[in-house]
Chains A and B, each alone.
Chain A
Amino acid sequence: MIERALLSEFQKIVGRENVFHEETDLLSYSYDAAVLDQVLPALAMRPVSGEALGQAIRLCNENGLPLTVRGAGTNLSGGTIPNEGGVVILTTALNRIIEINEGDLFAIVEPGVVTAKFAAAVESKGLFYPPDPGSQAVSTLGGNVAENAGGLRGLRYGVTRDYVMGLEFFDPDGELVKAGARTVKCVTGYNLGGLLVGSEGTLGVFNRIILKLIPMPAAKKAMMAVFDDVLKASETVSSIIANRIVPVTLEFMDNFTIRAVEDFSHVGLPTDAAALLLIEVDGHPVQVADDAARVEELCRRMGAMEVRVAETAQERDKVWEARRAALSALSRVRPTTVLEDATVPRSKIPEMIESIEAIARKFDLKIGTFGHAGDGNLHPTILTDRRDAQEWSRVEHAIDAIFEKALELGGTLSGEHGIGIAKSRFMEKETGRGTIAYSRRIKAALDPKNILNPGKIIGG
């Protein structure tokens, strides 16, 4: 419980109508999209100005209240699950696109701007903001930066980190800190932006974000390659890259996922195929035509049973409809859906896929695997029922086994979903004790009262 006097101070700062403390509100800010236990905060608030945001943070710090910033709450690793008795700060009212600068190719936004809305606003000016996380229709840019979100275009265009030119954020005292600039080059001071990107709300709270924009590619072409063998499909991925072609997207789908998608959306997928690759190239029209022809030829040479090249926009939509339906289709198979994102160097993808299949057999679980094969970021998706304690324990063991395997192959715990609380106990295994200690010293120095999203990433 928050004392009355403190409550009214918060109300004074952000406005009475923007402070929520009813039981129903607290409950509805107790979870995110991760399959984890919910934790109730004591208070939630929705500042409508940067000034109010800074003051609210300061007040939390003065009173030692842990605070968790929340955008759309789509986090898959529990990063937006608050601490008991803590404060949830909503960014949804800080949702202005302040500037889209067509001459200097950058944009300045507040943290609560919805990713897809921003991408559309940028596109209407003929420019391009490539990061496209799966939740982009609702996710916020602040959340994307805090998680260093990826997406389908990571292979060619990189991830959110590659588009953050500058940041303005509050430290726990509510002091404004500026990092980076509106220029392509900037070596002024520490690279604080680099530290804050992907810090999951543990080191500062964003007030404004400067994002890099690029010109919209003039043309694109999509195709679907069908394989009777997973190994052939994954070798094709390596072969495309080895031939110096970098598609914008290079997505993989295993047989389990193909069947689930076809059952659900009847888009005409070959349900007997062992694997599908969904590939899109973009760029100058001449280069796109050339790349597409080479990719098609490569797929055939590597043993694809069939390659369907989308000749019209409609056919292209159909290719991506199948990919977009993957998670929906899988999630309908069983009540609980656990979406993992262990990532390996892309040359290790065949081995990783094989291991996931073995893990599914060993723990007697349904696992559908799809994902961004081009950048090694697969999404083994475990379909289960959390209410079944016995099965759930097997799920937990399977997740551990997937992590172990990814690390063994020189990979990483998370490609794009973040560590949060779901994976923090594995951190030391991947990065070593020294790294955890170093990270904890940074955290302790920048946030001495440990109020900024405590417990995330580095535990403690």
Chain B
Amino acid sequence: MYDLKELAKLVRQLENQLITCMRCGMCQAVCPVFAETGRESDVARGKLALLDALIKELFKQPDGVSDRLNHCLLCGSCGANCPSGVKVLDIFIKARAILAGYMGLSPAKRLIFRGVLSHPRSFDRLMEWGASFQGAFIKPADRLLGTSCGRFSFPLANRHFKALASVPFHNLADALDTTGKSGVKVGFFTGCVIDKIFPNIGLSVVRSLKHHEIGIFLPQNQGCCGIPALSSGDTTAFSRLVRHNLEIFSAQKLDYLVTSCATCTSTIKKLWTLMASDFSESEQSQIRTIADKTVDISQFLVDVAGAKQVSASQGNEAQTISYHDPCHLKKSLGISEQPRKLISANPAYRLKEMAEADRCCGCGGSFNLQHYEISSSIGKRKRDNIVATDCTTVATGCPACMLQISDMLSQEGDRIEVKHVIEIYADSLED
């Protein structure tokens, strides 16, 4: 049995934030999960009310609250649309940590986050093995999209997923520590999904930075940004990863830390700082410095490096491309113009906006694994909006969105390529 008084005390640290919710219910207009289920406990107002009820000790069992809290994409649509400015994501992240700390992590999550993810070298090794053996289990599903599905029936086999790259980015690209004529030097934080599944995004980043004569610090043995652990409430693994990355990057003299993963950018800028009180004072100041320096690659190239828009090729030459706003770029960081400008820097494409470009794709990291049906139903709406533009390529700024969108398009047999905006930009550059 849980000591609910003790739990109430822990949740009470969120009380001052919880009380700002006036229960107006406007979050119902934008929550992708609520649009599927219509269930109040799926929308921010409902979840906040559940946390409030924990404080008031209205529950017999806290398990249900934890389940409902995890039934969320952490897309931040609610917070971005909240009339009274409730910091919904901050509350949810902290509440997940409190509940997981209190009720314990599942053994599987414990193993994944603490045994594997928080040891970057072992994680890399494990994934490399995976890349060599995966062919025994999966077969190609769609060659254009580069998706695979199961060769035989096993859990997840029906999905059209992107297989692990045969060679991850950290083995394709050498460690770099260069200076450039621009006088600007950036660190490149790769992120797990780009490293292990989309190495071409990493290569495109390096190529683009070199084109603009930017100095690059690209270390090997980078760690995960920590979001999978933190969103499951595992602050131990999260802290380990933050420390690992701080050690690698903080010692360097860098003007910026660029990432091409919207989720990594948002995690470093928003969540490392949110959880900073778990760290020592000197670490806190390192976290603040790194968070201030962290920028999305498109933001860096457009605002700092001066990437220029050009007009699309005339006639039928330019291909139609559409852009999906990742939640972690637009809703979390307010970045939506720069990725579009970066696309417009390649004359081979003409940008055509899709309806609801900033509506969540439904991926939500581990949400997709645990609630695939809802996740893909949300993704289907994104797919329909993409297809309605008649584009041949859809670009976005987050590899997690790319996984989800690839799955959705591949399932329907759509002939549409999924790319990162940096790949589009790098393609336009002359070497």
Which residues of A does B touch, CB under 8 Å?
Answer: 20, 22-25, 27-33, 35, 38, 40, 46, 72-74, 90, 92-93, 114, 116, 135, 137-138, 327-328, 331-332, 335-337, 385-387
Contact = CB atoms under 8 A, between A and B. Distances in A.
A328 B83 contact: yes
B211 interface: no
Given A27-B50, A28-B40, A335-B19, 4 more contacts: A24-B64, A73-B40, A335-B16, A335-B20
B84 A337 contact: yes
A198 B85 CA distance: 32
29 contacts: A20-B39, A22-B64, A23-B59, A23-B60, A23-B61, A24-B67, A25-B41, A27-B41, A27-B49, A27-B58, A28-B40, A28-B49, A33-B22, A35-B22, A38-B49, A73-B25, A74-B24, A135-B25, A138-B25, A138-B26, A138-B28, A138-B29, A331-B83, A331-B84, A335-B16, A335-B20, A337-B22, A385-B19, A387-B19
B26 A137 contact: yes
B64 to A, nearest CB: 4
B39 A25 contact: yes
Nearest to B41: A28
A332 B84 contact: yes
B65 interface: yes
Given A23-B60, A28-B46, A336 B22 contact: yes
Nearest to A339: B22
Q: Which 10 A-B pairs have the closest CB atoms?
A: A328-B83, A28-B46, A331-B84, A92-B38, A28-B40, A24-B64, A137-B29, A335-B19, A28-B41, A138-B28
A260 to B, nearest CB: 12
B9 interface: no
Contacts of A31: 23, 49
B85 A328 contact: yes
Contacts of A135: 24-26
Contacts of A72: 25, 28
A149 B391 CA distance: 43
Contacts of B61: 23
Nearest to B15: A387
Nearest to A75: B25
Chain B CB within 10 A, most for which of A27, A72, A73, A74? A27
Nearest to A88: B40
Contact of B38 (A40, A46, A336): A46
Nearest to A93: B38
B106 to A, nearest CB: 19
Given A24-B67, A137-B29, A327-B83, A29 B40 contact: yes
A108 to B, nearest CB: 21
Nearest to A17: B37
A135 B29 CA distance: 10
Interface string B319-331: 0000000000000
A242 to B, nearest CB: 35
Nearest to B64: A24
A135 B22 CA distance: 13
Nearest to A325: B83
B68 interface: yes
B25 A24 contact: no
Contacts, number: 83
B248 interface: no
A447 B65 CA distance: 37
Contact of B65 (A24, A30, A116): A24
Nearest to B85: A332
Nearest to B34: A92
B47 to A, nearest CB: 8
Secondary structure at the A interface, as helix, strand, loop or mixed, is loop
Chain A CB within 10 A, most for which of B50, B53, B64, B67? B53
Nearest to A24: B64
A24 B84 contact: no
Nearest to A324: B83
Contacts of A74: 24-25
Contacts of B84: 328, 331-332, 337
B68 to A, nearest CB: 5
Contacts of A24: 41, 50, 64-65, 67-68
Contacts of B46: 28
A32 B67 CA distance: 23
A310 B142 CA distance: 53
Nearest to A76: B24
Contacts of A32: 23, 25
A35 B39 CA distance: 22
Interface in B1-52: 16, 19-20, 22-26, 28-29, 38-41, 46, 49-50
A38 B55 CA distance: 14
A46 B42 CA distance: 14
A116 B40 CA distance: 19
A335 B21 CA distance: 8
Contacts of B85: 328, 332
A81 to B, nearest CB: 11
B18 to A, nearest CB: 9
B59 to A, nearest CB: 6
Contacts of A137: 26, 29
Contacts of B20: 331-332, 335
Contacts of A138: 25-26, 28-29
Interface in B68-86: 68, 83-85
A27 B68 CA distance: 12
Nearest to B59: A23
B35 to A, nearest CB: 10
Contacts of B65: 24
Chain B CB within 10 A, most for which of A28, A40, A336? A28
A37 B50 CA distance: 14
Contacts of B49: 27-28, 30-31, 38
Chain A CB within 10 A, most for which of B24, B53, B61? B24
Interface string B201-224: 000000000000000000000000
Contact of B40 (A25, A40, A114, A327): A25
Nearest to B65: A24
Interface in B245-260: none
B54 to A, nearest CB: 10
Nearest to B43: A28
Contacts of A30: 49
B13 to A, nearest CB: 15
A336 B16 CA distance: 11
Interface string B120-151: 00000000000000000000000000000000
Nearest to B22: A337
B43 to A, nearest CB: 9
A31 B61 CA distance: 20
Nearest to B20: A335
B46 to A, nearest CB: 4
A28 B50 CA distance: 7
Contacts of A385: 19
A29 B26 CA distance: 16
A74 B43 CA distance: 13
Contacts of B29: 114, 116, 137-138
A77 B125 CA distance: 60
Nearest to B25: A74
A33 B25 contact: yes
Contacts of A38: 49
Nearest to B24: A33
Contacts of B83: 327-328, 331
Nearest to A18: B38
A115 to B, nearest CB: 11
